[in-house]
Amino acid sequence: METLTTERTIPILPCRSIDDVLAFYVALGFEIPYRQERPNTFAIVRRGGIELQFFVLKALDPAQSYSTCYVLVPDVDALYAAFTEGLRAATGRVPSRGVPRIGPVKDMSYGVRQFVMVDPGGNYIRIGQPIEARPALRAEAAGRLERALEAAVLLADSKQDDAAAAKVIDSAFAAGGATDAPPTVVVRARILQADLAWRQGDPAGAVARLAEARDIVLDDAERAAIADDLGRAGELDDYVAQANA
């Protein structure tokens, strides 16, 4: 019997198919220490200090699910790499849109470096590593595109509202926001546009925005400063290539 030395919280999340959920988490490197079929279907998955529990809700529509939890980890990049490699080994691809999917790793302004994973039950598993929070952008110190980019990142990668994020960033470009923006901001914004186009089922739009991003010349210091965004551009290239294969 396990002896607790401190309090612990364990999310219990819904799913429509316990088999689909368990196969997904096994691909991520989780173990299944317990599974129950009667009187109700229930299971536990565990990987290191991460434990999630699931119950079957037959009326659930995973695409409309609002269930979520936050998992804090010491090395979010290592876990992201392990998860994506596990899915690629198990299924031949990394799902990047629809349900299930895994989003990009990003530094968020509110003090975490995170990615958002949506499992087959439609549960939003937000996985993050604490970092120093960035100061809020001051309107007088930031250009239109930079402010729009900040808002779009929060909408897309925190709220998961891709349509609203795309509208914000598209409007900033249409209003000439790129005219006075630093090249790194323009590149980041174009890559985010590409990511949003991909997530919304527009691979041609993603390719076009990536081409626009790569037309902008950056020096080594600038490329280092936006390494996460450039890494996401490479992932998007892979997703598009797989879709066209």
In the chain, CATH 3.10.180.10 covers 12-127
Q: What is the pLDDT of residue 140?
A: 46
Q: Which pLDDT band, with edges at 50, 70 and 90, does 137 fall under?
A: low
Percent of the chain with pLDDT over 90: 83
Residues belonging to the chain? 245
* pLDDT at position 6 over 70: yes
Element at 76 (helix H, strand E)? helix 76-91
Q: What is the pLDDT of residue 158?
A: 84
Q: Which pLDDT band, with edges at 50, 70 and 90, does 1 fall under?
A: low
CA angle 157, 159, 161 (to 5 degrees): 85
In the chain, CATH 1.25.40 covers 136-244
d(CA 189, CA 70): 26
23 vs 142, higher pLDDT: 23
What is the tens place of the pLDDT at every residue in 160-202?
A: 899 999 999 999 999 998 998 999 999 999 999 999 999 999 9
- With beta carbons less than 8 A apart as the criterion, state whether 120 and 62 touch: yes
Q: What is the pLDDT of residue 135?
A: 66
Q: Max Cα separation, the chain?
A: 64
What is the tens place of the pLDDT at every residue in 25-43?
A: 999 999 999 999 989 999 9
* pLDDT at position 240 over 60: yes
Place of tokens 């509208």: 167
Mean residue pLDDT of the chain comes to: 93
d(CA 132, CA 69): 21
* pLDDT at position 139 over 60: no
CA angle 193, 199, 61 (to 5 degrees): 145
What is the tens place of the pLDDT at every residue in 71-112?
A: 999 999 999 999 999 999 999 999 999 999 999 999 998 899
Average pLDDT over residues 228-233: 95
* pLDDT at position 2 over 90: no
Architecture of domain 136-244: Alpha Horseshoe (1.25)
Half-sphere exposure of 184 (CA within 13 A, CB side): 11
Q: What is the pLDDT of residue 160?
A: 86
What is the tens place of the pLDDT at every residue in 65-74?
A: 989 999 999 9
* pLDDT at position 212 over 80: yes
d(CA 110, CA 210): 27
Domain spanning 12-127: which superfamily?
A: 2,3-Dihydroxybiphenyl 1,2-Dioxygenase, domain 1 (3.10.180.10)
Q: What is the pLDDT of residue 243?
A: 85
